[in-house]
Structure 1
């Protein structure tokens, strides 16, 4: 079984998203986190689903959210590199 490996920066991104929503809308914070994990699991099984970007990176919109997973295909599955809001200028990070 292929798996999703979360980079430290991606985990930090998720923690920041959770912190941002947790006080005012904890249900939304939970929704975004769960949806991101489901999307990562999907990508582990279908690593070429997202469109290719530069340097063999790919992106995938987390269903039901405005967030994107930036990832790369790895031998064991996928490595989730970052989690960004679709309106962020994520190309600079």
Structure 2
């Protein structure tokens, strides 16, 4: 299934990459590779995440990484709402 990232998800990914790159460019690159693989897996298995209290939104805790990916399944694509680092204060709603 096609994947779409929201502006917020792209911003989250860039912030994580920039933060880690300050210490290690290689670690930042590896993080992006691992998150890309996780997002690809969501495209292959859209119901892998658990439903949330918000209608139509699911979230998936990325194995081996401190990231949570909230998303929704549309007719033509999976929309990644955020790529959220779990050390941050979680917002009350993903939208």
TM-score, scaled to structure 1: 0.87
Deviation by residue 1:5-55 (Cα, 9 ceiling, x = unmatched)? 111110011000011111202222112211111111111111111000122
Question: Is contact 1:59–1:71 with CA below 8 Å preserved after alignment?
Answer: yes
- State how many pairs are aligned: 92
**Partner SS for 2:80:** strand
Match of 2:84 in 1: 84
Aligned match of 1:34: 33
Give the aligned CA root-mean-square deviation in angstroms: 1.4
> Structure 1 unaligned runs (5+)?
none
Between structures 1 and 2, the one with greater helix share: 1
Pairing 1:47–2:38 present: no
